[in-house]
Amino acid sequence: MAPGNTNTPKDDSGRGSGTSSAAHTGRAAGDQQTRSARLAVTAFPVLVVLGGLLGVAASDTLVAMSPAIPWALGVVMFLMGLTLTMPDFARIAKRPWAVLIGVALQFTIMPLAGLAIVRLLGLEPMLAVGVILVGCAPGGTASNVVTYLSRGDVALSVTVTTVSTLLAPLLTPVLTLWLAGSYLEVSAGAMMLSIVKTVFVPVVLGVVVRLFAARAVEAVAPALPWLSTITITLIVAVVVAGSKSSLASAGLIVLLAVILHNAIGLALGYGAARLTGLSPAQRRALSIEVGMQNSGLAASLAAAYFSPLAALPAAVFSVWHNVSGAIIAALFARAKAD
């Protein structure tokens, strides 16, 4: 779960032959979008915590909004689609090896780490499924901005996020069925259809709108990460409202599971990228890409197919991975070499 890919940190390698004033205007717009994205990522953990507190304080009202979670997630994914351009997809052909490694790490490290953690901690079935769902989700879109702040390969981060998101309708249900099926019954087919409707279709629609109305999208681009942040905050508030009764008994163990899950993803993502011979900038990108998940999707699926308690790990993850993302970005940015 994340504020959204803004496309602002990417290398501007194809300026074309426009006038200097047009180039200056483009750079100014890009700088504004970058500042907006950075502020959104910085404020995101605080806003999500406030959303959680709102969920506790107004649980009776917010629980009634649970059916709206998939629609809210669809809005977030549509906003992500608005930030994608044709060069994003062209990068897949230009760097297939790095993208393949990133996607493979995304859908192996985090799902298996989730299973290992729930067994290690002996989590009850609902929480276990929630943790595994987070692991089986695609990468979170805030990873793109965090990669930028970390001096990582932003183009690779954007590409891996895009590919893993588009593969999620197939891989997330299959992996969840395989790894969580022993805990609870998993309706993989229904889950697959749900992801198509709430992730794939909105992303594609956003791409199409961007393709045919690029100027209008650019005009509102600085607002996109904030719209995404506010929507995700509301999702967290509704999820917390639904699991309010379990917070006191399960909150600490869920937090521990989330911290372990995120740390394993960051560490193994970096280590595996290094073993495959990728550059330092690519290692940073894949470390962050693997460690940060689309926990909004996990929360939506957990609430729809299991229970609000199963969505609790995703809500906690949405806060923690942005906190750890800020920390890892600061560490990477200060490092002289990897």
Closest CA to 297 of 242, 225, 239, 214: 239
Closest CA to 298 of 290, 288, 306: 306
pLDDT tens by residue, 272-326: 999 999 999 999 999 999 999 988 889 889 988 888 889 889 988 988 887 888 8
Is the pLDDT confidence value at 12 over 60? no
**Phi, psi for 153 (deg, rounded to 5):** -85, 95
* Average pLDDT over the chain, rounded to an integer: 83
Q: Does domain 20-334 have CATH number 1.20.1530.20?
A: yes
pLDDT tens by residue, 170-179: 999 999 999 9
Q: What is the three-class DSSP state of 89?
A: helix
pLDDT tens by residue, 78-96: 888 887 777 777 777 787 8
CA–CA separation, 293 and 320 (whole Å):
11
| Predicted pLDDT of residue 15 | 38
Q: Is the torsion defined by CA of 302, 101, 169, 323 positive or negative?
A: positive
Percentage of the chain surpassing pLDDT 70? 87
CA–CA separation, 4 and 228 (whole Å):
6
CA–CA separation, 145 and 102 (whole Å):
17
Q: What is the three-class DSSP state of 139?
A: strand
Is the pLDDT confidence value at 17 over 50? no
| Predicted pLDDT of residue 194 | 87
Residue owning tokens 């917390």: 240
Q: How confident is the model at residue 23 (pLDDT cuts 50, 70, 90)?
A: very low
Q: Is the torsion defined by CA of 194, 226, 252, 261 positive or negative?
A: positive
Closest CA to 243 of 56, 47, 53: 56
CA–CA separation, 265 and 116 (whole Å):
12
| Predicted pLDDT of residue 37 | 63
CA–CA separation, 323 and 337 (whole Å):
23
Closest CA to 52 of 306, 283, 308: 308
| Predicted pLDDT of residue 21 | 46
Answer for the pair 222, 36: CB distance below 8 angstroms, yes or no. Answer: yes
| Predicted pLDDT of residue 90 | 79
Q: How confident is the model at residue 13 (pLDDT cuts 50, 70, 90)?
A: very low
Q: How confident is the model at residue 14 (pLDDT cuts 50, 70, 90)?
A: very low
| Predicted pLDDT of residue 117 | 97
The more confidently predicted of residues 6 and 209 is: 209
CA–CA separation, 258 and 135 (whole Å):
10
The more confidently predicted of residues 4 and 93 is: 93
Is the pLDDT confidence value at 25 over 60? no
Residue ranges per structural domain of the chain: 20-334
Q: How is residue 92 written in tokens?
A: 């897949």
CA–CA separation, 322 and 66 (whole Å):
24
CA–CA separation, 256 and 313 (whole Å):
10
pLDDT tens by residue, 124-149: 999 999 999 999 999 887 788 788 77
CA–CA separation, 331 and 296 (whole Å):
26
Residue owning tokens 């100027």: 215
Q: How is residue 15 written in tokens?
A: 């300026």
